[in-house]
Chain A
Amino acid sequence: MLAVGLAVVGVAIAATFTLRAFQDNMMFFVDISDVIAGDYPKQRNFRIGGLVVDGSIERQQGSMDLRFRVTDMNCELPVSYTGVLPDLFREGQGVVAHGRLGDEGVFVADKILAKHDENYMAPEVAESLAKHVEGKTQPLRDGPGECVTL
């Protein structure tokens, strides 16, 4: 039983020890409409997700710099990324990006995620889209007014 006691103490110490690390490594998922409205964690990384807008992928010929727009069916956010893309990244498909909002309102992604399964959409992305598809039935809604419905 000494062991149980020690284990509890050990967990407590380790938990406190790592709580700070926990906060630093927690990454919030933010709706694109909220990002546009200015409601996102400043000074730290967060995640966004949505559909890659059709025809929005631009890349300079021969360069790894890439720009595209992501939509939550209400607002669009330009994203820039440099690097290798996951196999399932494509226009019209769901995508999740890690990064932070840079100057001029461009989301600078340091990581792009897509799933193993083409048919599988990250639940937070699906939920975010659903919210705004619903919003679409009321053309003039509160909140991020500058976003025009698609």
Chain B
Amino acid sequence: MIPEIGQFALILALSLAICQGVLPLVGAHRNDAAMMQVGNTAALGQFLFVAVAFGCLTWSFLSDDFSVLYVANHSQLALPTVYKVSAVWSAHEGSLLMWILILCAWTLAVSRYSSELPQEFSARVLGVLGLLSVGFLLFALLTSNPFDRLSPPAADGADLNPLLQDPGLAIHPPLLYIGYVGFSVAFAFAIAAMLSGNLDQKWAKWTRPWTTMAWLFLTLGIMLGSWWAYYELGWGGWWFWDPVENASFMPWLIGTALIHSLAVTEKRGLFKSWTLLLAITAFSLSLLGTFLVRSGIIVSVHAFATDPTRGFFILAFLGVVIVAALALYAWRAPSLDSDVGFGLLSRETFLLLNNVLLVVAATLVLMGTLAPLIIELLNGGKISIGPPWFEVAFLVPMIPLVLLLGLGMHTAWRTQDARSWVAVLRIPAIAAVLLGVVLPLMFYGRTGLMLAVGFGAGLWIILSSLIQPLRSLRRKKGSAGITRSALGMSVAHLGMGLFVLGVTVVSAFNIESDRALTPGDTIEVGHFEFEMRELRNVEGPNYSAIEAVVEIRRDGEYLATVRPQKRQYLVQKNWMTEAGIYATWNRDLFVALGDQLGNGAWSVRVQYKPMIRFIWFGAIIMALGGLIAVSDRRYRLKAQEKSKVGRAAVESA
């Protein structure tokens, strides 16, 4: 009964989505206030019905209702309760339902907190969001119904893929989707502006906090995914340039460009058509990512269970959305651009360069992701493109980007006096260059060109981000001090600097060693000794495992004991590696069990990962910067409400 209620709720949500997609748009066109008002009501109703559907699916998981096919395939009686909940979004059907729920939550947030927007404008925004929702609800109901029944019911389920039985992965998809879907708001704002033919600086002010909010969730989502891959896939890498990772990274790059371009549009009324294009592109890339992941068109280790019908559906939907948006763009954007000049040495120039470099970076990632497909279709054989290519290609736009970043932050709008610029930045620049060479030599005993560039660039960003906040601290007496907006920018850039430092150091000084060990053996990696004390059997709730007890010493002095495991899950019978990690702020020591080699020996991978935590910590700081920026007084009211909705979405998910 419960699953049928869920399905019925979805159908009702679809009919409300149609109302929300059609009536407000027509109303805005005819200037009919009553019709425009429908959007708000429909958005609320739609959210409630989708929440009911989501609740029904969650209930089916919690009550072990194996008469629901999706539950039977992704759960099991002995599965811990937490994972029964996260299993809801562990595969295609359920994660699509969550995607829809999040879209409805964003829509509701826009409808609730758009009172300061002109009614016509907010009606158009809700209409566009409603149309997007119609597409996704149709997709769910026609090709991916999570409530399909299984008769006769299974006695027990097939269990959740053990890789997904992990707290990191339980919250990674919700955060990622909040980010992905959040770009639909910027997209809807862009479409609404083009429909009304009116784009002013106020528009940019309205759009900015929504975009920053979506961006910060996407940042956190990607960061969690990277962290999960690091400890759960077992082999200590933190980014693999896998198509699925790229699918989430491209919208992030474009979203980052959008945040910066919106700043120019708000402050100076410039780059209008460019900002519109970025807003369309950020969301289009989110859709493209969904397509790549769920259609099976590209080979990836993450692949969802794929199905060509689904592929065609998303492709058709994506085609309609993007082509319509860009056609509107081609028609309306030319009349929106304004010609205001700016000096060569001005913040506008730097933000323009920022945008160009970020777009280049995203284009390169897209090229690398699609290249195997292109070459195969041209009958060039089956190729794969390895991470080394991405690493080289990505550095080309990234090095200038991080170097220019420090300059751009301290450049004024319109035009900048070169002399005062040098005065401010002289010290951080010299410090970054010197310390970039000296510090690696001091702490890690080696330096090199790329290392000095990376380390120096990281320090350069950190130091130049600190200038403004430090100054405002010093001049406390009554003066205005730093705005939240500027502070947010400084903090986000600081996070970027920490990230760059982490990436540089871990790629330069990472030590990896695969050895055969029997209990009693010791190996040395760097200054550290790893002794395998014993191997023993351990039983978990739904797995049994072999656990190694490894003692870590530094120069003979005891540091820690880690317990890497090799687990066999009882239902699916597959083996999983659980790494043993001893982490401090400046390094990780990572031990993973490989294979049984006979004679009581196991292959063991031991890694020393200096400063790897800076990568994720930096990303969290970046997101924190975004949060500070949206709390700026200019949009304070809206900001509070939105974070509330964001939280509500996470909780209900």
A and B touch in the complex (CB under 8 A): yes
Question: Binary interface profile of A, 15-33, with partner B (CB < 8 Å = 1, else 0)?
Answer: 1011001101111110000
Whose C-beta in chain B lies nearest to the C-beta of A4? B274
Contact A10 B356 (CB under 8 A): yes
Contact B386 A64 (CB under 8 A): no
Question: Binary interface profile of B, 508-546, with partner A (CB < 8 Å = 1, else 0)?
Answer: 000000111010000000000000000000000000000
Question: Binary interface profile of B, 347-364, with partner A (CB < 8 Å = 1, else 0)?
Answer: 000001101110110011
**A74 smallest CB distance to B (angstroms):** 18
Question: Binary interface profile of B, 378-394, with partner A (CB < 8 Å = 1, else 0)?
Answer: 00011111101100110
Give bound CA distance, A76 to B253, whole Å. Answer: 45
B299 close to chain A: CB less than 8 A: yes
User: Which of A15, A27, A64, A85 has most B Cβ within 10 Å?
Assistant: A64
Contact A87 B388 (CB under 8 A): no
**B629 smallest CB distance to A (angstroms):** 23
Q: How many residues of A contact B (CB 8 A)?
A: 41
Contact B274 A3 (CB under 8 A): yes
Q: Which residues of A contact B601 (CB under 8 A)?
A: 61-63
Give bound CA distance, A86 to B207, whole Å. Answer: 46
> Interface-forming stretch among B44-52, B104-112, B467-475, B590-598?
B590-598
Whose C-beta in chain B lies nearest to the C-beta of A14? B396
User: Which of B234, B235, B382, B576 has most A Cβ within 10 Å?
Assistant: B382
Q: Which residues of B contact A18 (CB under 8 A)?
A: 364, 389, 392-393, 396
Contact A10 B397 (CB under 8 A): yes
Taking CB atoms and an 8 Å cut-off, the chain B residues in 243-272 that contact chain A are 271
Give bound CA distance, A10 to B605, whole Å. Answer: 41
Question: Binary interface profile of A, 39-54, with partner B (CB < 8 Å = 1, else 0)?
Answer: 0000000010000000
Give bound CA distance, A2 to B353, whole Å. Answer: 10
Q: Is the interface of B mostly helix, strand, loop or mixed?
A: mixed
> Interface-forming stretch among A100-108, A118-126, A131-139, A141-149?
A118-126
Give bound CA distance, A82 to B595, whole Å. Answer: 12
**A131 smallest CB distance to B (angstroms):** 12
Q: Which residues of A contact B479 (CB under 8 A)?
A: none
Whose C-beta in chain A lies nearest to the C-beta of B163? A116
**A45 smallest CB distance to B (angstroms):** 9
Contact B364 A14 (CB under 8 A): yes
B235, B301, B367, B599: the one contacting A116 at CB < 8 Å is: B301
Q: Which residues of B contact A27 (CB under 8 A)?
A: 383-386
Interface range for B: 35 or more
A67 close to chain B: CB less than 8 A: no
Q: Which residues of B contact A88 (CB under 8 A)?
A: 574-575
Contact A22 B385 (CB under 8 A): yes
A150 close to chain B: CB less than 8 A: no
B356, B516, B518, B603: the one contacting A6 at CB < 8 Å is: B356
B302 close to chain A: CB less than 8 A: yes
Contact A28 B514 (CB under 8 A): no
**B613 smallest CB distance to A (angstroms):** 24
Q: Which residues of B contact A61 (CB under 8 A)?
A: 597-599, 601
Contact A84 B381 (CB under 8 A): no
Contact B389 A25 (CB under 8 A): yes
Q: Which residues of B contact A14 (CB under 8 A)?
A: 360, 363-364, 393, 396-397
Question: Binary interface profile of B, 387-430, with partner A (CB < 8 Å = 1, else 0)?
Answer: 01100110011000000000000000000000000000000000
Q: Which residues of B contact A123 (CB under 8 A)?
A: 299
B20 close to chain A: CB less than 8 A: no
Contact A21 B389 (CB under 8 A): yes
A92 close to chain B: CB less than 8 A: no
19 contacts between A and B (CB under 8 A): A14-B363, A14-B397, A15-B364, A15-B367, A17-B396, A18-B389, A25-B389, A26-B375, A28-B382, A29-B382, A62-B597, A63-B601, A64-B597, A64-B603, A84-B594, A85-B595, A87-B575, A117-B161, A124-B382
- Complex A-B, nearest 8 residue pairs according to Cβ-Cβ distance, in ascending order: A84-B594, A25-B389, A61-B598, A29-B382, A62-B599, A62-B601, A10-B360, A18-B393
- Known contacts A6-B353, A64-B597; can you find 16 more A-B pairs with CB under 8 A? A7-B355, A7-B356, A7-B360, A10-B359, A14-B364, A18-B364, A18-B393, A22-B371, A25-B385, A29-B382, A59-B598, A84-B514, A85-B603, A116-B301, A117-B161, A124-B382
